[in-house]
């Protein structure tokens, strides 16, 4: 199924049916299951499968007609009955033997909020046809063979998370008894969280822990590889074990015969460059560091930059078809900020201009609101974007909706700040108190920096003036029609 692009978490991604456990799942009776946690997860899987696809995997449901199943679904969706009550009421029950455990996946540490996902194989009961229910969470869905789905991911613009891809690849050889045996032998313990996330072939996202701005706890490094070479973006972690994990991932690709061409920096912030020197030391002196010249200037004495990248420059990696990363000078969050656009694949590496988690700070003088809005508009005008790879948080599968949301949010803030100044707020603090009512007081110091960025833009636009003692006033506007 394709998840709706409107969903905040993995919107636009392809996935199997499923969803979050709810409190009632523990109350569902599951026969032939000793383990309470597993029983709850089976109940969750069965309920989600029914809610999302109308498929009811319950003993006793063979005798239900299509109409009866629809009315059960209505009972559930309308809240008239919980899943447990519904099963009991209609004399149905779940049986653990219908749910073959097929692995467990803990999401990477993008954020403090993690998901621990269990996978099950089930037979679609006879005479039941899956169809997407219209609750807005799912965009499309279809039956497809695993081998076909995997091949499609490889050759066309589809986004999926690693366990989905892993399951498809495993199932590609067919659903044999041997395979089910192997699934059954998977220990149900927590496994190491997956570190390397390949949302699209050749584009690895590798979150590393950094001292970054909450709610983010990690910065995404990206490793982009072709058949013979690779580049690493933003190795940001100052912590040794994180640096080693990233280096090990790079080494896996080197061991397959690839050269490390360059380390590339999107911008100067410490949570994006904190691991550059360690990675250089690991890889050897012949690896170059590339960045915008403004980034290089700012990092002088801390990080060596060997090559400057300017707007329009192209980084090319052999592949089929070749990977073309076009640099876009995208100031706003930082003066020398670069984004990278892979036109053919619809991929945009956004750095901190757009992030999958938290908000983007525009902090003058490094940050500039006019530049930032221009950057957002420019990125918005790129054709055929499929996915945004941001500096923090998961990939964004609905690029245009996200860019629109960012632009709208900034313009709304600007409007509210202008209004506050007109109504007599004279300092950044007074403005924050009036405008940032949705933000915790703890974040007000940071909000003042953003207000300052907006005020600088409004001054340039001639809508606001600053008095000699640093207070802001609204300029008289000609009351002509606008
Ligand atoms: Zn940054």
pTM: 0.80
Cα of 267 vs centre of ligand 1, distance in Å, is: 7
Asked whether residue 103 carries a pLDDT value surpassing 80, the answer given is no
Task: For residue 290, report the distance from its CA to the centre of ligand 1, in Å.
Answer: 17
CA of 339 to the centre of ligand 1 (A): 12
In terms of Cα–Cα distance, which of 434, 264, 438, 267 is closest to 362?
267
Q: What is the pLDDT of residues 309-324, one digit of tens each?
A: 999 999 999 998 899 9
Return the pLDDT at 182. Answer: 60
What is the full DSSP assignment across 431-452? HHHHH-TTS-GGGHHHHHHHHH
Q: Residue 143: CA atoms inside 13 Å, Cβ hemisphere, count? A: 7
According to the model, what pLDDT value does residue 100 have?
Answer: 87
pLDDT score recorded for residue 480: 58
Distance from the alpha carbon of residue 4 to the mean position of ligand 1, in angstroms = 29
- Rounded to the nearest whole angstrom, what is the distance from the C-alpha of residue 104 to the centroid of ligand 1? 33
Q: Which domains does the chain have, with CATH numbers?
A: 2-122+142-184 (3.90.79.10), 197-397 (3.60.15.10), 413-474 (1.10.10.10)
pLDDT bin (cut points 50, 70, 90) of residue 188 is very low
pLDDT > 90? residue 109: no
Strand partners, 218: 209
Query: What single-letter DSSP state applies at residue 68?
Result: H
Using the mean position of ligand 1's atoms as its centre, give its distance from the Cα of residue 12 in Å. Answer: 25
Distance (angstroms) between ligand 1 centre and the Cα of 482 equals 37
Query: 371: CA distance to ligand 1 center in Å?
Result: 15
Question: Model confidence over 212-250: pLDDT tens digits?
Answer: 888 888 899 999 999 999 999 999 999 999 999 999 999
Give the Å distance between the CA of 386 and the centre of ligand 1: 23
Q: Please report, for residues 98, 407, 418, the alpha-carbon distance to residue 213 in angstroms, rounded to integers and kept in the order given.
A: 45, 21, 27
Q: What is the pLDDT of residue 201?
A: 85
Determine the distance separating the centroid of ligand 1 and the alpha carbon of 275, expressed in angstroms: 15
Q: Give the best-scoring range by mean pLDDT among 12-26, 209-223, 402-416, 432-446.
A: 402-416
C-alpha to C-alpha distance for 172 and 241, rounded to whole angstroms: 35
How many angstroms does the Cα of residue 464 sit away from the middle of ligand 1?
28
Q: What is the largest CA-CA distance in the chain?
A: 83
- Using the predicted structure, report yes or no on whether residue 192 has a pLDDT greater than 60: no
Give 246-274 pLDDT, tens digit per residue: 999 999 999 999 999 999 999 999 999 99
- Provide the 10 A C-beta neighbour count for residue 123: 11
Output the CA 269–ligand 1 centroid distance in Å.
5
User: Cα of 326 to ligand 1 centre, how many Å?
Assistant: 20
354 alpha carbon to ligand 1 midpoint, in Å? 10
Residue 355 near residue 269, CB atoms below 8 Å: no
Could you report the per-residue pLDDT of 347-381, keeping only the tens digit for each? 999 999 999 888 899 999 999 999 999 999 999 99
User: What pLDDT was estimated at residue 190?
Assistant: 41
Residue 189 has pLDDT above 80, yes or no: no
Ligand 1 centre distance from Cα of residue 438 (Å): 23
Average pLDDT over residues 388-413: 93
Distance 274 CA to ligand 1 centre (A): 12
Q: How far is the CA of 355 from the centre of ligand 1 (A)?
A: 10
Residue 195 CA to ligand 1 centre (angstroms)? 22
Distance, CA 83 to ligand 1 centroid (Å)? 46
Q: What is the pLDDT of residue 95?
A: 96
Contact (CB, 8 A) for 205 and 222: yes
Q: Which carries the bigger pLDDT value, residue 124 or residue 159?
A: 124
Tell me how far apart the terminal alpha carbons of the chain are, to the nearest angstrom. 47
d(CA 363, ligand 1 centre) in Å: 10
- Among 134-138, 172-176, 201-205, name the one with the lowest average pLDDT: 172-176
Q: Which residues contact 199 (CB under 8 A, 6 or more apart)?
A: 159, 160, 161, 205, 387, 389, 395
- DSSP 8-state secondary structure symbol assigned to residue 113: -
Instruction: Compute, in angstroms, the gap from residue 284 CA to the centroid of ligand 1.
Output: 27
Sole residue written with tokens 């938290």: 358
Residue with more model confidence, 195 or 461: 461
């Amino acid at each position: 199924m394709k998840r709706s692009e409107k969903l905040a978490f993995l919107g636009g991604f392809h996935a199997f049916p499923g969803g979050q456990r709810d409190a009632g799942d523990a109350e569902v009776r599951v026969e032939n299951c000793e383990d309470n946690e597993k029983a709850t997860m089976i109940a969750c899987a069965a309920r989600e499968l029914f809610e999302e696809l109308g498929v009811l995997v319950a003993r006793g449901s063979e005798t239900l007609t299509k109409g009866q199943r629809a009315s059960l679904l209505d009972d559930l969706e309308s809240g008239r009955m919980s899943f447990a009550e519904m099963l009991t009421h209609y004399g149905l029950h779940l049986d653990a033997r219908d749910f073959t455990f097929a692995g467990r996946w803990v999401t990477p540490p993008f954020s403090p909020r993690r998901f621990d996902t269990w996978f099950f194989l089930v037979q679609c009961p006879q005479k039941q046809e899956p169809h997407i229910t219209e609750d807005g969470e799912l965009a499309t869905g279809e039956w497809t063979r695993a081998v076909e789905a995997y091949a499609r991911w490889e050759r066309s613009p589809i986004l999926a998370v690693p366990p989905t891809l892993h399951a498809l690849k495993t199932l590609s050889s067919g659903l044999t008894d041997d395979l089910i045996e192997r699934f059954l032998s998977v220990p149900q313990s927590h496994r190491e969280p997956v570190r390397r996330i390949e949302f699209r072939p050749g584009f690895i996202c590798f979150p590393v822990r950094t001292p970054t701005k909450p709610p983010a706890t990690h910065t995404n490094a990206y490793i982009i590889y072709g058949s013979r070479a690779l580049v690493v973006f933003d190795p940001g972690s100052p912590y040794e074990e994180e640096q080693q994990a990233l280096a090990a991932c790079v080494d896996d690709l080197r061991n397959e015969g690839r050269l490390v061409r360059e380390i590339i920096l999107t911008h100067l912030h410490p949570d994006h460059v904190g691991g550059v020197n360690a990675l250089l030391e690991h890889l050897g002196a012949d690896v170059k560091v590339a960045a915008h010249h403004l980034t290089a200037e700012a990092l002088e004495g801390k990080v060596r930059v060997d090559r400057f990248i300017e707007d329009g420059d192209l980084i090319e990696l052999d592949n089929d078809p070749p990977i073309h990363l076009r640099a876009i000078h995208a100031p706003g969050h930082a003066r020398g900020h670069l984004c990278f656009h892979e036109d053919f694949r619809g991929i945009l590496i956004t750095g901190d201009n757009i992030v999958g988690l938290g908000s983007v700070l525009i902090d003058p003088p490094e940050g500039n609101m006019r530049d930032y809005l221009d950057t957002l508009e420019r990125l918005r005008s790129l054709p055929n974007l499929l996915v945004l790879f941001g500096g923090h948080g998961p990939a964004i599968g609905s690029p245009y909706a996200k860019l629109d949301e960012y632009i709208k949010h900034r313009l709304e803030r600007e409007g509210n700040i202008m209004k506050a100044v007109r109504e007599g707020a004279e300092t950044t603090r007074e403005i924050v108190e009036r405008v940032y009512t949705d933000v915790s007081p703890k974040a007000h110091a940071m909000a003042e920096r953003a207000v300052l960025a907006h005020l600088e833009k409004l001054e340039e636009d001639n809508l606001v003036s600053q008095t000699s003692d640093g207070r802001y006033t609204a300029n008289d506007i000609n009351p002509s029609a606008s």
